[in-house]
Structure 1
Amino acid sequence: MTTRILPAAGDADAARSIVALLSQLPDAEPAPPVPDSTSLLDALGRLAADSVDELPEVVLVHERIGPVPALELVREVALRFPAVGVVLLSSDTGPGVFSAAMDSGARGLVGLPLHYEELATRVGAAAQWSAGVRRHLGRGAEAVSGPGGRVVTVTGAKGGVGTTFTAVQFALAAAASGRRTALVDLDLQAGDVGSYLDVQFRRSIADLAGIQDISPRVLQDAVYEDRTGLALLLAPAEGERGEDLDERATRQVLSALRAPYELVVVDCGTQVTGANATAVEQADVAVLVTTPDVVAVRAAKRMVRMWERLQVRKAEDTSMVVNRWSKHTEIQPSLIEKITRTRPTRTPVPAAFKELQGVVDAGRVQDLDNRSTVKQALWALAGELGLLSAPEQGSAVPARASAGSALAVRAAGPVARLRRGREG
């Protein structure tokens, strides 16, 4: 039987060495190595979306992978793709590392520098284990061995662009379409999800920060089941408690949420922190919200460039939502796409604050009238981004006009200012 092996190594020389040795193993089919944790998870997610049978039997994780540390990456792969055998490659093979690797879900530990016999033994054992799991699960493997529930993050280019309102409406649209949906407030110091939905709850996401293994019962205790049908994981009332939620805790929380929920919508606020950067990196869909004005568009450009420098997210893998748009706006979505190099969405959200003021002030955004043009646009966007259940895709609200060639782009005023600063 052919064993498909996907190596992940941040060091180019190490990657070449791994592939050279793997090519000597009998019946081994090594894939081209991936250079970082983001590429590995993306590759596995794409394969699992087709079929669990498309996944490699073995994944090799080198200790110098990044940006996610190797042990945490092993845990993430084991949780999201449990029919894949993960083997850690480490220069330290002592009892402490071995125990940590096994606790993270690894099926083997191989010492560096690599030796043929040890690598062949560990890869063979991991492959046999993977094959056994897939035989045991049979056709049910696809249901439990895929990437789990999808995570969509919503980030604002700057304060005041409508980030939280957008995240809440996305979650409401998904829940209305029949998806079991969680809404997470990761704007840890200034989160307003609870205020928008008129919810007060003593638990928050900060209560999960120090827990090593988040069980379903622990998660249930921290989540508020709202009357809207949403499961809410709120930001702490005391903003300073947000510091307790680091990158590792965020990964564990999101992994725990993927199991019981089909969709996890995360409000990431407008500041880059370790927690929300981790969420954006892990997301299946990353949305960036801006308004069509010079300051906000420049802030959006800074945000995507920062994500790229930190290896969090590529600009072209980020979906841009243009809020408060009108046909009279000089800065049109097509220009914003060129400036930020992000992936455009077809549906701009109209500038109609009067429709929203009453429900926002009352903390009842779930009661926004279905005739609201803003609600119609945001629910259409939820369908466009693939956040709704299959029967409802594209039918939750009428589709709106495309923001492409029909939108004229003017070259004067603020547009000229943006073009002058495009390379800045």
Structure 2
Amino acid sequence: MTTRILPAVGDPDAARSLTTLLSQLPGAEPALPVTDSTSLLDLLARLAAESLDELPEVVLVHERIGPVPALELIREIALRFPAVGVVLVTVDAGPGLYSAAMDSGARGLVGLPLSYEELAQRVQSAAGWSTGVRRHLGHAGELVAGPGGRVVTVSGAKGGVGTTVTAVQLALAARASGRTVALVDLDLQSGDIASYLDVQYRRSIVDLAAIQDISPRVLQDALFAHQTGLGLLLAPAEGERGEDVGDRAVRQILHALRGRHEIVVVDCGTQMTAGNAAAVEAADTTLLVTTPDVVAVRAAKRMVRMWDRLQIRKAEETVVVVNRHTRATEIQPPLIERITGTRVARSTVPAGFKELQPVIDAGRMQDLEARSAVKQALWALAGELGLVRVPEPAALQKTGRFRGDRGSIGLRRGRSR
């Protein structure tokens, strides 16, 4: 039986050494090494989106992989791709690291310098485990890349561009089409989703931060069941408590939410923290909201460049949403696309201060009228992104709802490469 092996090694010399040994293993089919954690996760997501059969049986993670530390990367792979056997390649093969690697989800550990016998044994063991898991779970189609939910992050180029309004309306549109939806406020110090939806709450995302294994019951207790049907995971009332929500906690929380919701919309605000950086990196679709003015567009360009420098998200994987758009402004979507290097959503959102202000002041964003130009544009955006469930053709013709559902721009992370 052929064993497909994917090495993740940032160091060129180590990559050559590892690839040489892997090519000597009987039945091994090593792929070209990937050089960083972002590329590895993207590649696995793309393969899993095609079919479980496309995923490698074994992933070898070198200890100096970046930007995500090796153990955190192993944990992420184990959470999102549970039938892939991960082996850590490291200089320190002591019991402490071995225990930490096993806790993260690794199936073995190989010491450096590499030994053919040890490498063969660990790869064979991980491959056997992977094959057994897939056989136990049944048909390949029943296992997907992590739980089946889709994560969409919404970030703002700067304050006041309409980030939260966008996130809330996208979530409402998805829910109105019949999907199960979680709306997460990851603007940890100044999140306003609770105010926009008039929610009084006790539990917040901070209550999940220290939990290692988030069970469905624990998750359900932390979510606020809103009258619209949305499950709300809200920012802490005391902003300083947001420091307790790190990147590892965010990855675990998003993984748990994926397992119980078809759509997870995350309001990341305008400030970059370790937590919302992890969300942007893990998202299937990342939106960046801007307004068509010089200051906001420059801020959007800075944000995109920062994500690229930190290897969080590439510019071409980011979708810019233009809010308060008018045909009279000099800065039009094609220009924003060229300046930022991103793709700009076809659905632009007009200015709508008069129609928005009453529902914002009342904390009743869900009551924004259907004839509102802002609501129509944002719900069309939800359709463009594929967040709404498309009605049957006959029902669509009868009701005329969800005019934005006619096509999706295919923005699942990994397919855009």
TM-score scaled to structure 1, two decimals?
A: 0.91
**Helix, strand or coil for the counterpart of 2:24?**
coil
Deviations 1:296-319 (A, max 9, x none): 001101111111111111111100
Aligned to 1:143: 142
% of aligned pairs identical?
74
Letter of the aligned partner of 2:340 in structure 1? T
Give the whole-Å Cα distance in 1 for the aligned partners of 2:152 and 2:134.
29
Cα contact 1:151–1:266 (8 A) shared by 2: yes
Secondary structure, aligned partner of 2:376: helix
Tell me, what secondary structure is at the counterpart of 2:336? helix
Cα deviations across residues 200-258 of structure 1 (Å, max 9, x unaligned)? 11000111222222222221221111111111000000000001111121122112212
> Could you tell me how far apart the structure 1 residues matched to 2:204 and 2:253 are?
12
Would the alpha carbon gap of residues 277 and 327 (structure 1) be closer, same or farther in structure 2, given more than 3 Å must change?
A: same
Q: 1:311-357 CA deviation, whole Å, 9 max, x = no partner?
A: 11111110000000011111100000000001121111111222211
> Secondary structure of the equivalent of 1:268?
strand
Query: What's 2:330 paired with?
Result: 330
* 2:403 equivalent in structure 1: 398
Kindly state the Cα deviation for residue 66 of structure 1 after the two structures are TM-superposed: 1.3
What SS does the corresponding residue of 1:5 show, helix, strand or coil? strand
Aligned to 1:415: none
Which whole-Å deviations, capped at 9, do the CAs of 1:398-424 have from their partners, x for residues lacking one? Answer: 24999xxxxxxxxxxxxxxxxxxxxxx
Taking the aligned partners of 1:401 and 1:258, their CA distance within structure 2 comes to 25
2:326 alignment partner, SS class: coil
Paired with 2:402 and 2:353, the residues of 1 have a C-alpha distance of 19
Gaps of 5+ in 1: 403-424
Question: Could you tell me which residue of structure 2 aligns to residue 31 of structure 1?
Answer: 31
Report Cα offsets for 1:126-177 as digits up to 9, x if no partner: 11111112122222x4333423211110000000000000001111111112
Match of 2:213 in 1: 213
Q: Which amino acid aligns with 2:146?
A: P
Match in the other structure for 1:95: 95
Deviations 1:47-69 (A, max 9, x none): 11111111111111111111111
Aligned to 2:75: 75
- Say whether residues 1:198 and 2:203 are aligned partners: no
Report how far residue 392 of structure 1 moved: 7.6
Aligned in 2, Cα 1:142/1:97: closer, same or farther, shift over 3 Å? Answer: farther
Compute the displacement of 1:193 (Å): 0.5
Tell me the distance in 2 between the aligned counterparts of 1:266 and 1:328: 32
Question: Equivalences for 1:16-415 in 2 at 5 Å?
Answer: 16-139=16-139, 141-148=140-147, 149-391=149-391, 396-399=401-404
**Could you say what secondary structure the match of 2:174 adopts?**
helix
Partner-residue secondary structure (3-state), 2:138: helix
User: Secondary structure at 1:276's aligned position in 2?
Assistant: helix
Q: Which residue of 2 aligns with 1:2?
A: 2
Quick one: distance in 2 between partners of 1:180 and 1:88?
Answer: 37
The aligned amino acid for 1:143 is E
CA distance in 2, matches of 1:254, 1:112: 34
> CA separation of 1:392/1:365 partners in 2, compared to 1, >3 Å: closer, same or farther?
farther
State TM-score, norm by structure 2: 0.93
Indicate the RMSD between aligned Cα atoms, in angstroms.
Answer: 1.8
Contact 2:82 2:146 in 1 (8 A): no
Aligned to 1:408: none
In structure 2, runs of 5+ residues without a counterpart are 408-417
Query: Would you say the 8 A contact 1:62–1:88 is kept in 2?
Result: yes
